[in-house]
Amino acid sequence: MDGLRLDGRVAVVTGGAGGIGSAIAADLTALGARVVVADVDLRGAEKVAAGLTGARAVAVDLASAADVERFCEAAGPVDVLVHNAGVSVVEAFVESDPADWDLMWQVNLRGPMLLTKLLLPGMMAREWGRLVFVSSDGARAGSGGEGAYAATKAGLFGLAKTLAREAARHQVTSNVVCPGPTDTPMLRRISEAEPGLVGKLARGIPLRRLGTPADVAGLVAYLCTDRAAYITGQTLSVSGGVTMH
Ligand SMILES: NC(=O)c1ccc[n+]([C@@H]2O[C@H](COP(=O)([O-])OP(=O)(O)OC[C@H]3O[C@@H](n4cnc5c(N)ncnc54)[C@H](O)[C@@H]3O)[C@@H](O)[C@H]2O)c1
């Protein structure tokens, strides 16, 4: 099948040191892209990049505007931008701390907005680009204890669709991928606070298991290829059938 290679393309994966991000970095590398593994955890990013041909690790704290600017200068021209980094503080909304809202807003929504503002003009000028936003099924369907998180992740829907309209004439696509419960360090951290959560989640999933990072990475990588050139402004779930629309 033609059109599935990304040779010569430079791809930034934020949160590339994490569970889903490292799987996305591996799949994009397998398709021929040179991946910038971007993460606040530089040591973790370096470990991931060391295992991937042509990849490099660059530190970035998405919560800091100055850091995002410095990162974009260091990254050079970027063809593929995968917004995967995310943080979740789980707490009942009425008990939640606005300081936690601020962190989630900065990392999950403001960071992607800033990165896109700085890197999208280059894609538009070169008449090719891919934006993929990793949101969450929690934003599509609601998720107990994740009110502020879901709000920031739902913000990505409006951003991605607007960018899809504004950048389409330059052959830049913009799509959202929504994982359901996926077996990563993030989910393990959340389930430590609620024993039995993983089993409960899996029983509620039509395909009867948690997602894996590779389940999510396959769709993200596909959306970055030429084969997906006519797909833009879409929100797609990778959640074992939890969300069907
Ligand atoms: N695991 C799940 O069940 C699940 C479900 C739905 C959505 N998601 C989303 O998928 C994405 C990946 O999550 P994961 O499960 O792989 O989590 P993870 O915790 O394994 O990875 C997240 C990565 O983001 C990085 N990060 C955190 N704050 C950052 C910052 N300020 N600047 C730069 N990088 C930062 C972390 O260092 C980490 O490497 C997230 O956006 C998450 O919200 C995950």
Supply 188's token pair.
Answer: 């393990």
pLDDT of 236 reads: 98
Domain boundaries, the chain: 10-238
* Any ligand 1 atom below 6 A from CB of 60: yes
Residue 129 confidence (pLDDT) above 90: yes
Ligand 1 nearest atom to the CA of residue 63, by list position: 31
pLDDT of 245 reads: 81
Residue 189 confidence (pLDDT) above 90: no
pLDDT of 4 reads: 97
pLDDT of 191 reads: 85
- Rounded CA-CA distance 6/130 in Å is 11
Residue 139 confidence (pLDDT) above 90: yes
How far, in Å, from the CA of 125 to the mean position of ligand 1? Answer: 30
How far, in Å, from the CA of 16 to the mean position of ligand 1? Answer: 9
Task: Tell me what percent of the residues of the chain surpass a pLDDT of 70.
Answer: 100
pLDDT of 193 reads: 79
For residue range 48-59, what is the model confidence (pLDDT) as tens digits?
999 999 999 999
* Any ligand 1 atom below 6 A from CB of 228: no
3-state DSSP of 99-127 = HHHHHHHHHHHHHHHHHHHHHHHHHHHHC
pLDDT of 145 reads: 94
pLDDT of 126 reads: 98
Stretch 11-16: mean pLDDT, rounded?
98
Q: pLDDT averaged over the chain?
A: 97
- Rounded CA-CA distance 215/143 in Å is 21
Stretch 140-154: mean pLDDT, rounded?
96
Stretch 7-18: mean pLDDT, rounded?
98
* Residue 149 annotated among the catalytic residues of the structure: yes
pLDDT of 125 reads: 98
pLDDT of 194 reads: 81
pLDDT of 232 reads: 98
For residue range 79-108, what is the model confidence (pLDDT) as tens digits?
999 999 999 999 999 999 999 999 999 999
* Any ligand 1 atom below 6 A from CB of 40: yes
Write the DSSP string, the chain: --S---TT-EEEEETTTSHHHHHHHHHHHHTTPEEEEEES-HHHHHHHHHTSTT-EEEE--TT-HHHHHHHHHHH-S-SEEEE---------GGG--HHHHHHHIIIIIIHHHHHHHHHHHHHHHHT-EEEEEE--HHHHH--TT-HHHHHHHHHHHHHHHHHHHHHGGGTEEEEEEEE-SB-SHHHHHHHHSSTTHHHHHHHTSTTSS-B-HHHHHHHHHHHTSGGGTT--S-EEEESTTSS--
For residue range 32-46, what is the model confidence (pLDDT) as tens digits?
999 999 999 999 999
Mutation test residue for ligand 1: of 12, 20, 100, the one with most atoms within 8 Å of CB: 20
* Any ligand 1 atom below 6 A from CB of 86: yes
- Rounded CA-CA distance 111/85 in Å is 9
For residue range 73-86, what is the model confidence (pLDDT) as tens digits?
999 999 999 999 99
For 131, counting Cβ atoms within 10 Å of its Cβ (0-12 exposed, 13-18 middle, 19+ buried), the class is: buried
Supply 231's token pair.
Answer: 């797909």
Give residue 26's pLDDT band: very low, low, confident or very high (50, 70, 90).
very high
Give residue 10's pLDDT band: very low, low, confident or very high (50, 70, 90).
very high
Other C-beta atoms closer than 10 Å to the C-beta of 61 total 18
- List 235's β-bridge partners, or say none: 176
* Any ligand 1 atom below 6 A from CB of 184: yes
pLDDT of 130 reads: 99
| 10-238 homologous superfamily | NAD(P)-binding Rossmann-like Domain (3.40.50.720)
How far, in Å, from the CA of 2 to the mean position of ligand 1? Answer: 32
Look at 188 and 115; give whichever has higher pLDDT.
115
Catalytic-labelled residue, pool 149, 172, 179, 215: 149
What is the maximal distance between C-alpha atoms in the chain? 52
How far, in Å, from the CA of 84 to the mean position of ligand 1? Answer: 6
- Helices 19-30 and 185-192 cross at an angle (nearest 10°) of 170
